[in-house]
Chains A and B, each alone.
Chain A
Amino acid sequence: MLTAKDHFDNFKVRWGINRYNYTVSPGLYAVGDPKQDSPVIVTANYKLTFDLLRKELAGQNLWVLVLNTKGINVWCAAGKGTFGTNELINRINKTKLEHVVSHRKIIIPQLGAPGVASQKVTKSSGFKVSFGPVRAKDIPEFLANGWNASNEMRTVSFDLKDRIVLTPMEIIPGLKFLLIPVILLLVFNIINHRGFDLNSLTETFFNLLSYVGAFLMGTFFVPVLLPYIPFRSFALKGLFLGSLWALVFFNFHSVFMFADNHLILIGNILLLLSISTYLALNFTGSSTYTSFSGTLRETIIVVPLVVAASIAGIGLLVAYTISNLG
Chain B
Amino acid sequence: MALKYLKDVVTLKLNKDKCIGCGICFQVCPHQVFMIDGGKADIRDKDSCMECGACAQNCPINAVTVRSGVG
Contact = CB atoms under 8 A, between A and B. Distances in A.
Interface string A289-312: 111111011100000000000000
A298 B32 CA distance: 24
Contacts of B9: 291, 293-294, 297
B28 interface: yes
Contacts of A297: 6, 9
A151 interface: yes
A114 B3 contact: no
Contacts, number: 98
Contact of A115 (B3, B7, B57): B57
Contacts of B14: none
Nearest to B7: A232
A113 B6 CA distance: 24
A220 to B, nearest CB: 18
B36 interface: no
B50 to A, nearest CB: 5
A250 B31 CA distance: 42
A80 B71 contact: yes
Given A232-B6, A294-B10, A297-B6, A79 B68 contact: yes
8 contacts: A114-B57, A154-B30, A228-B1, A290-B50, A291-B5, A293-B51, A296-B69, A297-B6
Given A116-B57, A297-B9, 6 more contacts: A75-B52, A118-B58, A119-B58, A232-B5, A292-B70, A294-B6
